[in-house]
A and B are shown apart, each in its own frame.
Chain A
Amino acid sequence: MSKKILIVDDEPNIVMSLEFLMKKEGFEVATATDGEQALAQVAAFSPDLLLLDVMMPKKSGFEVCEALRADPAQGGLLIVMLTAKGRETEVAKGLAIGADAYVTKPFSTKDLVARVRQMLGLA
């Protein structure tokens, strides 16, 4: 069974590329464009890994991450934060509230795919 990835970002341009890329890599992909939608999708789609943008309307990526980490049912969910906030303080915050990885935009798609595969135990 292929692994499931949920892509959460309010910018359709990056969502489109990531969706295409992850599908090509053989993952099952779903998308969300804001924080609330993301939480609903996590429940409905039950992904194995979340690519989560920080700056989003309604609920920020930090808030989504915190909410998910507070839910014991989602203990196994892997979270990769994708963000335009590159400051060390923000990286530290993302990791501190429970993200498994923190990737700063712009990033190399190859590296991202490699990272995702490794985290899902496919590498």
Chain B
Amino acid sequence: MKAKARFLLAIAVLGLLMTGPFVVTSFLVWVEMQETERKLLLDLLLSRLPIGTLMTLFGFAIGIAVLHNLFKQYVEGLRGMAEQLRLMLGANRNFRVKLQGPPEVQRVAQVANDLAAQRDALLDDVEARIAEANASVEAEKNRLAALMSELAQAVVVCNLDGRILLYNNRARLQFKALSQGPTSAAGGALIGLGRSIFSILEKNQVEHSLEIIRQRLVGGKSAIANFVTTTRGGQLLRVQMVPVLSGGDEGEPAMSGFVLTVDNITRTLEEEARRDNALHSLTEGSRAALGSIRAAVANLIDYPDMDPELRERFVKVVDDEASRMSKRLDQTMNEFTDAMKTRWPLEDVLAMDIISAAQRRIEDKLKLPTKTEEVDDGLWIKADSFSLVFALLFIAERLQDHYQIRDLRFRTVCEGKLAYLDLIWIGQAISSETFYSWEMETMQALGETSSLSLRDVIDRHGGEIWYQREKAAHRAFFRFVLPVAVPVTEVADERSTGRPEYYDFDLFKFEDKSIDLDRKLSELTYTVFDTETTGLEPSNGDEIIQIGAVRIVNNRLLKQEIFNQIVDPECPLKPESIPIHGITEDMVRGQPNIDIVLPGFHAFCEETVLIAHNAAFDMRFLQLKEERTGIRFTQPVLDTLLLSAVVSPNQESHKLDALLERLGISINTRHNALDDALATGEVFLKLLPLLEEQGIVTVRQALEASEKTYFSRIKY
């Protein structure tokens, strides 16, 4: 019942209470009375009726006033408070009930406010804890990612389906070096988050190792498996697999994925094979020659009285074979010196880095000024840098202590396979005996003792050291001879802005492999791409000259996982189009043609949904190559132009530039396929929530909505 109705009812009840007893009493008395008595009463009452009625009305009015007041304070007051409490519960946490009305109501309001305060404190605490936990998880992830990226070994983490969840920079570089053809030219398409490891490693081998690990887990042994595999390019990889275990608190730990550490052992094996070869050629190869010599010598000794001509022939045999052996020995040494000397693990370092390290310590600790003369900044040597720097310090300190030198200079000279590192000083010459003793004793420098002698350090490098004088200049120097290294040129990161996005732990939940049209848009893996072409008419002979693409995995644009390749169109560029795409004849010449690039791009897109801005245009170019290359792009294609038309049908322009401005996205350059692909990717990610507002959540819904827009009717 409404409050107003209740109020009216209460007034009615009050009226009845005030008049009811009198009326009922009068009626009962009236019934009992005689006719004369009734007449007498009527006379008596009627004359006094006005005052009675007046008194009753007066009382009734007071009653209504009291009732109204009570109603106002208790019923309506509480009703208002209820609304305020509702507000406080939902919309505005900081709202507090106003203390007004009678003391009882005020007390209720006060208790409600106290409860709210208590709730706020609890909520704040919970939020703070959640934020703290999130921050620590994020920090740990970052630490892990940073750690992984610094590892010298290639590490790849996969879920049980073989999807890559995490990989480090070394893995990227290693697989990039492995991948052949246009894929490597285009930036290592093989490895990527959410991609299958089986495109790199033999599936059977990986599954076999998983089986071994499962068995070892059941058997309670250390779960680890190793295998060596050959890549398509003929490289040998040694792979170690360990499981990622989860739910280890109770019962059997379940495997949820695996970690692979990958070493490319091709070079190591080649080196071992070379060493083997050298050994073989020196042993087996010498047997035959030695056999001839020994037999001839035995004859000469055993039959001293043989005729001179025969004797001459046996002596010649010895001479021949001996010189053949010498020649073979020289040859072997020449071919295999590197392989035979580098037993100690030497690393490739810049000679300049070694010198700088030594200079710093000599100046800081020995207070001895140093200089460099003619140091080749780009000279790489194979060295154990710690022991080499220590050797330099050792000599510097000796020279300072015994020969009072004023400064020390460094110089490098490169002679073919050998690098000379010279330590030069002006002043008194030292005797060869002194230097010999320095060479052999255990090194000491800056109060530290090494376990090695100078000779040990030199031997370790397969090098030499000697002492030489430049008499004219009154100078002398020690010359270290060290092996020159040919550094493996590592490909620099193309886009190393910020922390690399090499990990995605959410993929642990990712199970399905094929593209399911009813999966949520936000969960899918996409390849966003763009092409630059010689012109706008694919069916009139215009050709693709650049393909740029980037991947979106779990709602993140992975700027490290890109495909970027210039294509030789095998036809002249149109001069009027060059200012648009900025690609010149010089740039396309010598690049692979579409027959080579398209398979690489196809592999890059595998198992992803394609996205392009005005996709029909780019798809048409790809389709025209189907017959020639046999490569078909059969996956679903989303078009950001159409999706934009779905989201904002009343906007005039859906050109990429207009979209970028509307969505507040800024990019470096336009009309470069890769930059445009990146921009399109950003656009797509911004469109996702807007599509969701319209109830478009799955790929199927997005495709259907796109089809219905006006723009989809424009065909190329």
A14 near B288 with CB under 8 A, answer: yes
State which residues 45-84 of A face B: CB under 8 Å.
Answer: 55, 82-84
Taking A13-B320, A13-B321, A109-B302 as contacts, is the C-beta distance between A86 and B295 under 8 angstroms? no
> Per-position contact with B for A22-35: 1 when CB-CB < 8 Å, else 0?
00100000000000
- B303 pairs with A24, CB closer than 8 A: yes
Contact: B290 with A105, CB < 8 Å? Answer: yes
Contact between A107 and B284, CB atoms less than 8 A apart: no
User: Per-residue CB proximity of B275-318 to A under 8 Å, as 1/0?
Assistant: 00000000111011011111110110011001000100110010
Q: A54 → chain B, closest Cβ, in Å?
A: 10
CB distance from B641 to the nearest CB of A (A): 71
- Expressed in whole angstroms, the Cα–Cα distance for A13 and B314 within the complex equals 8
Docked complex: A70-123 residues within 8 A CB-CB of B = 82-86, 104-110
Give the contacting residue for B299; candidates A105, A107, A108, A109; CB below 8 A: A109
Q: Which residues of A contact B320 (CB under 8 A)?
A: 13
In this complex, how many residues of chain A approach chain B with their Cβ under 8 Å: the count is 22
Residues of B within 8 A of A105 (CB): 287-288, 290-291
Q: Do residues B284 and A85 form an inter-chain contact, with CB atoms below 8 A? A: yes
Decide if A16 is an interface residue (CB 8 Å cutoff): yes
> What residue of chain A has the Cβ atom nearest to residue B287's Cβ?
A84
| A105–B294 CA distance with the chains assembled, in angstroms | 9
Pairwise interchain contact A16-B298, C-beta atoms closer than 8 A: no
Contact A17 B299 (CB under 8 A): yes
Residues of B within 8 A of A17 (CB): 292, 295-296, 298-299, 314, 317
Instruction: Please state if B317 and A13 are interface contacts (CB–CB under 8 Å).
Output: yes
Q: Which residues of A contact B292 (CB under 8 A)?
A: 11, 13-14, 17
Interface of B is mostly: helix
Contact B294 A107, beta carbon cutoff 8 Å: yes
| B295 and A84 form a contact (CB under 8 A) | no
**Residues of chain B lying within 8 A (CB to CB) of residue A18:** 295
Q: Would you give the shortest CB distance from B310 to chain A, in whole angstroms?
A: 7
Residues of B within 8 A of A13 (CB): 292, 296, 317, 320-321
In the complex, residue of chain B having the shortest beta-carbon distance to the beta carbon of A103 = B291
Q: Does A39 contact B (CB under 8 A)?
A: no
A102, chain B: closest CB distance, angstroms: 13
Beyond A13-B320, A86-B284, whether A106 also contacts B310 by CB under 8 A is: no
Query: In whole Å, how far is A49's beta carbon from the nearest beta carbon of chain B?
Result: 17
Query: What CA separation (Å) do A21 and B301 show in the bound complex?
Result: 12
- In chain B, positions 115-162 with a C-beta closer than 8 Å to chain A are none
Nearest-Cβ distance from residue A41 to partner chain B, whole angstroms: 21
Interchain CB contact under 8 A, A106 and B314: no
Closest to B291 in A: A105
Q: How far is the CB of A78 from chain B (nearest CB, A)?
A: 20
- Residues of A contacting B303 in the complex (Cβ-Cβ under 8 angstroms): 20, 24
Q: Are A104 and B317 in contact (CB under 8 A)?
A: no
CA A104 – CA B288 in complex, angstroms?
A: 9
A20, B299: Cβ atoms closer than 8 Å: yes
Q: Chain A residue with minimal CB distance to B321?
A: A13
Of the residues B284, B313, B317, B321, contact of A84 by C-beta under 8 Å: B284
Q: How far is the CA of A104 from the CA of B313 in the complex (A)?
A: 24
Does A84 contact B288, Cβ atoms closer than 8 Å? yes
A84 lies within 8 A of B298 (CB)? no
A15 nearest in chain B by CB position: B292
> Distance in Å from the Cβ of A12 to the closest Cβ of chain B?
9
CB neighbours (8 Å) of B284 from chain A are 84-86
Closest to A84 in B: B287
Tell me which of B287, B298, B310 contacts A110 (CB under 8 A): B298
A104: chain B residues at CB < 8 Å are 287
Residue among A11, A83, A108 making CB contact with B294, cutoff 8 Å: A108
- How far apart sit A86 and B280, CA to CA, in the bound complex (Å)? 10
Give A116 to B283 CA distance when docked, in angstroms.
26
Cα distance, A108 to B291, chains bound together (Å): 8
Nearest B residue (CB) for A21: B299
Type the 1/0 row for B57-101, where 1 means its CB is closer than 8 Å to any CB of A: 000000000000000000000000000000000000000000000
20 contacts across the A-B interface (CB closer than 8 A) = A11-B288, A11-B292, A14-B288, A16-B313, A17-B296, A17-B317, A20-B310, A21-B298, A24-B303, A84-B287, A84-B291, A85-B284, A86-B283, A86-B287, A105-B287, A106-B295, A107-B291, A107-B294, A107-B295, A110-B298
Q: Which residues of A contact B (CB under 8 A)?
A: 11, 13-14, 16-18, 20-21, 24, 55, 82-86, 104-110
The 6 closest A-B CB pairs, nearest first, are A105-B291, A84-B287, A17-B295, A106-B290, A109-B298, A13-B292
Instruction: Known A-B contacts: A14-B291, A17-B295. Give 19 more (CB < 8 A).
Output: A11-B292, A13-B296, A13-B317, A13-B321, A17-B298, A17-B314, A20-B314, A21-B298, A82-B291, A84-B288, A84-B291, A86-B283, A104-B287, A105-B288, A106-B295, A108-B294, A109-B294, A109-B295, A110-B302
